[in-house]
Amino acid sequence: MNWTATRRTALRVILLLLALLIAWRILSNGLGEHFTRQALLGDEQAVGKALLWNPEQPTALYLRAESLMQSEPAQAEALLRKSIRLNPGNAVPMEMLARLLFDRHQIEAADEMIDLAVRRMPARKDIQLSAARYWVKRGQLSRAMENWAAVLRLDPGMGEKIYPTLTQIAENSQSVGLFKSLAESPPNWWDDFFIYLSEHAKKLETVVTVASIRHASKITLSRVERDELVKRLQEDHQWPEAYLVWVNGLDSEERRYLGSVFDGGFELAPANTGFGWYFPENKAWLIRRKNTYGAEGEKALHIFYKGENTPVNQVYQPLLLSPGHYVMNMRTRVDRLRVQGGIRWMLRCLGDESRVLGMGPLLVGASDWETHQFSFEVPNDKACTGQLLRLEIVGEDTDDRIVEGEVWFDRLSIRKIEHEQH
């Protein structure tokens, strides 16, 4: 009986000790986790407390290593390797170790470690960005671009941080070729990047080069790419080149309306790009294409003025007319149009808008459909390689004119004529 009692007592002691050990482990791990969370929130003193309670807390280990990377790199490396061994699914200490190994000139090991970090957590933007910085330091921009592309796939909103760097790469003739792989299969963020590039690249050549790389791929340029390329060419006054890119991007339906004035009957919805119609938005007017009596096609241009302060410059279209003499025709209808001075179509040089080439009839009051014609000459002048056809308020260049009423336009056209010598 005594022996049995002794065994029972020993078993109770062992179970008690085991329970105490488990409780202690739970307590130490819990406190270790608690202080680790405090450390992640910025409490520098908490790292030591976390490791005091749990020397094998993997996050606390790499946080301690981070503070030792400059002063005691060997100890930092040991801590990082221990952290990785304890939690092989966390890429953070791997990325840190890659940087440490690089600084210690262990390049091959560093390359392997940064690759491992990306493979472990490919969906972590910070890991991808760190990998990109690593490959930039290694002088391997192609690898860095893979990481930036991964970040943009995860979060296209990161473009505002990454696009400036990509633009710098594009502006360097030695590195612009790195865009070839992206251009062959444009990712979902490509159009957004091309918009940024066309607006921010210092030189037109950069935009043209990237567009050419895209054009050489099996995937045709998107409408966004063409529109942005045309816009940049126009901004740099490269009118013939801009027109060529624009016209090559038109579909079969749009090509039906090509002419000296594109879609002079307003049958197509305005694209507000290239050499088509631009309908500016403003609270002072409502611009629409509508069916109405007397229109020669399905639609005519209708502008309803609301009687508010109205900008001088309104509907417009860039033109590309060769030097020579021309006649412009148009049909107009005016309905209770009240404006001091009236409105009219103006033809100007795109390179110098102060130069007026011709002007249409003055419109004010009321009239049924009327046909008008006026002649003008395009000079052989670089500033007038491109032209601007625009509806304007007559008078001084001021944006405080009150305009009220309605006006209709249809069948705007321009034809070249042989100039008679007198």
pLDDT value of residue 54:
67
pLDDT value of residue 11:
59
Cβ-in-10-Å burial (0-12, 13-18, 19+) of 353 comes to middle
Provide mean pLDDT across the span 332-353. 94
The band of 8, judged by pLDDT with boundaries at 50, 70 and 90, is: low
pLDDT value of residue 52:
60
Out of 66-80, 194-208, 221-235, 273-287, pick the least confident: 66-80
Amino acid at 282: N
**What is the distance between the alpha carbons of residues 277 and 210, in angstroms, rounded to a whole number?**
27
Say which DSSP state 363 is in.
B
In the chain, pLDDT over 90 holds for what percent of residues? 73
Please give the sequence-ordered ranges of beta strands (E in DSSP) within 320-385, or none if there are none.
324-338, 343-349, 356-359, 365-378
- Reported as a single tens digit per residue, the pLDDT across 215-271 is 999 999 999 999 999 999 999 999 999 999 999 999 999 999 999 999 999 999 999
Per-residue pLDDT at 5 exceeds 60: yes
**What is the distance between the alpha carbons of residues 248 and 240, in angstroms, rounded to a whole number?**
12
Q: Which two tokens stand for residue 72?
A: 């005691």
Bridge partner residues of 289 (DSSP) = 301
Amino acid at 237: H
**What is the distance between the alpha carbons of residues 165 and 212, in angstroms, rounded to a whole number?**
20
Backbone angles phi, psi at 5, to 5 degrees: -65, -40
- Reported as a single tens digit per residue, the pLDDT across 283-314 is 999 999 999 999 998 999 999 999 988 898 99
Angle at 34 between CA 120 and CA 78, to 5 degrees: 50
Residue in the block written with tokens 């304007």: 392
CATH annotation of 285-417 = 2.60.120.260
Contact 369, 335 (CB under 8 A): no
Residue in the block written with tokens 């929130």: 41
Q: Which two tokens stand for residue 264?
A: 């002079």
3-class DSSP assignment, residue 17? helix
Computed over every residue of the chain, the mean pLDDT equals 88
**What is the distance between the alpha carbons of residues 308 and 295, in angstroms, rounded to a whole number?**
28
Say which DSSP state 259 is in.
S
Contact 387, 240 (CB under 8 A): no
3-class DSSP assignment, residue 333? strand
Bridge partner residues of 403 (DSSP) = 308
The band of 122, judged by pLDDT with boundaries at 50, 70 and 90, is: very high
Provide mean pLDDT across the span 44-51. 56
pLDDT value of residue 309:
86
The band of 94, judged by pLDDT with boundaries at 50, 70 and 90, is: very high
Out of 3-7, 97-101, 294-298, 348-352, pick the least confident: 3-7
3-class DSSP assignment, residue 362? coil
Domain ranges of the chain: 23-248, 285-417
- 40 vs 377 pLDDT, higher one: 377
Q: Which fold has domain 23-248?
A: 1.25.40
Equal fold, 23-248 vs 285-417? no
